[in-house]
Amino acid sequence: MSSLQYLAYGFAHLFVVKTLLLMLGGVCVGLVIGALPGLSATMGVALFLPITYWLSASDSLVFLGSLYMAAIYGGSFSAILLRTPGTPSNIGTTFDGYPMSKQGRGWEAILTATFSSLYGGLFGLFMFLIFAPMLARVALKFGPPEYFWLGIFGLTVISSLSRGNTLKGFIGGLIGVLLSTIGVAPVGGNVRFTFNIPELIGGVGLIPALVGLFCIPQVIEMILNRSKQQLYQEAKVQKGLLWKTFVNVMKRQIDLLRASVIGFIIGVLPGAGGNIANLVAYSEAVRASKHPEKFGTGIPEGVIATEASNNAVVGGGFVPLMTLGVPGTPVDAILYGALLMQGLRPGAELFTTRADVVYTFVAGVILATFIMVPVGLAFGRGMAKLITKIPLSLLAPTIIFLTMIGSYCVSNNISDVYMMLMLGLLGFLLRKLGFEAGPITLGLILGPIIESGLVQGLLIGKKYPQPWLIFITRPLCWVFILLSVFFLLWPVIMKKRMVIPGGDQK
- Site residues (vs other proteins, CB under 8 A): 51, 54, 167-168, 170-171, 174-175, 177-178, 181, 185, 187-190, 192-193, 219-220, 223-224, 226-227, 391-394, 396-398, 400-401, 404-405, 408-409, 412, 414, 417-418, 421, 425, 432-433, 447, 450-451, 454-455, 458-459
- Residue 158 or 372 with smaller CB distance to other proteins: 158
Nearest-approach distance from CB 417 to other proteins, in angstroms: 5
- In whole angstroms, what is the distance from residue 297 CA to residue 451 CA? 50
Instruction: Tell me if 236 sits within 8 A of 107, measured CB to CB.
Output: yes
- Residue 195 or 243 with smaller CB distance to other proteins: 195
- In whole angstroms, what is the distance from residue 218 CA to residue 230 CA? 17
- Residue 138 or 458 with smaller CB distance to other proteins: 458
Closest among 344, 346, 343, 355 to 323, alpha carbons compared:
346
- Residue 357 or 392 with smaller CB distance to other proteins: 392
**Which residue(s) pair with 499 in the sheet?**
505
- Residue 49 or 256 with smaller CB distance to other proteins: 49
**Which residue(s) pair with 505 in the sheet?**
499
- Residue 274 or 457 with smaller CB distance to other proteins: 457
What amino acid is encoded at 497 in this protein?
A: R
- In whole angstroms, what is the distance from residue 232 CA to residue 94 CA? 13
Nearest-approach distance from CB 194 to other proteins, in angstroms: 10
Instruction: Tell me if 95 sits within 8 A of 293, measured CB to CB.
Output: no
3-state secondary structure of 85: coil
The set of residues, in sequence order, having a beta carbon less than 8 Å from that of 20 and lying 6+ positions away, is 14
Nearest-approach distance from CB 476 to other proteins, in angstroms: 21
- In whole angstroms, what is the distance from residue 444 CA to residue 203 CA? 11
Nearest-approach distance from CB 421 to other proteins, in angstroms: 6
Closest among 369, 356, 422 to 116, alpha carbons compared:
369
- Residue 8 or 174 with smaller CB distance to other proteins: 174
Nearest-approach distance from CB 98 to other proteins, in angstroms: 25
- Residue 50 or 327 with smaller CB distance to other proteins: 50
CA angle 208, 209, 211 (to 5 degrees): 65
- Residue 259 or 470 with smaller CB distance to other proteins: 470
- In whole angstroms, what is the distance from residue 233 CA to residue 243 CA? 23
DSSP string, 466-500: SGGGGGTSSHHHHHHHHHHHHHHSHHHHHHHH-B-
The set of residues, in sequence order, having a beta carbon less than 8 Å from that of 252 and lying 6+ positions away, is 300, 301, 304
Longest dimension (CA), the chain: 76
What is the number of alpha carbons within 13 Å of residue 158 lying toward its C-beta? 36
> CA 346, 349, 355, 361: dihedral to nearest 10 degrees?
10
- Residue 187 or 493 with smaller CB distance to other proteins: 187
Nearest-approach distance from CB 386 to other proteins, in angstroms: 12
Nearest-approach distance from CB 70 to other proteins, in angstroms: 20
DSSP state of 345: -
Nearest-approach distance from CB 26 to other proteins, in angstroms: 16
